[in-house]
Amino acid sequence: MAAGQISFKQLADAMPQMVWSTLPDGLHDYYNAQWYAFTGVPEGSTDGEGWNGMFHPEDQERAWARWRHSLATGEPYEIEYRLRHHSGEYRWTLGRALPVRGEDGQIIRWVGTCTEIDEQKRIAEHNSILSRELSHRIKNIFAVVNGLIGLSARQFPDMKALARELQGRIAALGRAHDYVRPHSEESAPHPGQSTLKALLADLLSPYPALDDGRLTIEGDDLAVDDRGATPIGLVFHELATNAMKYGALSLPEGRVAITIAVAGGAVHLSWEEFGGPRINGVPQLSGFGSRLTDMSVVQQLGGTLERDWRPDGLRVRIELPARALSRA
């Protein structure tokens, strides 16, 4: 036993990380040399439950709760917290621990490590700040461009209709960008918000038909990020705009049903209009909006798009790989 203990101590002291171990009840009874070198505390002073006082006050209860959970369930312990350095400053640290079980399956010890990750955390935070600042400036660019278009349209009255269409497209891009832009912890979407259904609901929120039930979004759901948000935003902006001008949403009784189905790594999107003006034949599709829709689906998302101009309303079928919408 003594030889084994010496061997463990030598091995632990040779590791670059701080190593510690506890009794089955979680009371600490061993720290390696790196722990004392990092913290600067006297040997033995953090035995038992004294370790928690080494954490930043804001992290202590969170760390205790996670440790109690691991002790109660036997699940691995993993948490990031700020640990007091011998200089007096707190440095971000990754704490991990695993249970050691005896032949009967009962936990006989816990062995853990503390790895300093302060530099990585600071770099990540710096990059996050830069990313949010860049995103904010991009959002401002959308607003400036929209404003310039509006000012220019005042000087050229004949171009007002075109200007409104262009402003609508830029606004759709802005909404899609704002949906998937880098967030702080405070502004990050809640669980369930970073999905295709939520994105469509956000993009189509300016249309009253969404509130009165004439525009519905049904079916499966899946994650979406900046990879797919922009082209999806353009596609459904064009469909909704045309439905308001010429299609089902141009009449009070008209309605639109959007259906999402996910199967075998593919996403099937359906746009179906009902109760709009009767369609007599296939209209001319040489407009910029139609070309933009096709380009977004085929070139940017790697999918296919089919239009079916039925007398009772337009049907659009879109199929694309799920990986086109999210990196996850």
Residue 286 has pLDDT above 80, yes or no: no
Asked if residue 9 and residue 110 are part of one domain, the reply reads yes
Asked if residue 288 and residue 246 are part of one domain, the reply reads yes
Q: How does pLDDT run across 48-100, given as a tens digit for each residue?
A: 777 878 999 999 999 999 999 999 999 999 999 999 999 999 999 999 999 99
Number of domains in the chain: 3
What one-character DSSP code corresponds to residue 297?
I
Give the domain-ending residue among 116, 142, 158: 116
Which residues constitute the domain of residue 225? 190-328
Q: What's the CATH code of the domain at 216?
A: 3.30.565.10
Q: How does pLDDT run across 202-256, given as a tens digit for each residue?
A: 888 888 888 888 999 999 999 888 778 888 888 998 898 889 888 999 999 999 9
Asked if residue 199 and residue 172 are part of one domain, the reply reads no
Asked if residue 128 and residue 18 are part of one domain, the reply reads no
Residue 126 has pLDDT above 70, yes or no: yes
Asked if residue 229 and residue 290 are part of one domain, the reply reads yes
pTM assigned to the model: 0.52
Report the b/e string of 139-173 with b at 16+ CB within 10 A: eeebeeebeebeeebeeeeeeeeebebbbbbbbbb
Give the total residue count for the chain: 328
Which residues does 156 contact at the CB level (< 8 Å), separation at least 6? none
Give the domain-ending residue among 89, 116, 143: 116
Q: How far is CA 150 from each of CA 174, 177, 242, rounded to the nearest angstrom?
A: 16, 21, 21
Asked if residue 301 and residue 254 are part of one domain, the reply reads yes
Q: How does pLDDT run across 162-181, given as a tens digit for each residue?
A: 777 777 777 766 766 666 55
Task: Give which of 117, 92, 113 is closest to 30, Cα–Cα.
Answer: 113
Asked if residue 148 and residue 33 are part of one domain, the reply reads no
Asked if residue 237 and residue 323 are part of one domain, the reply reads yes
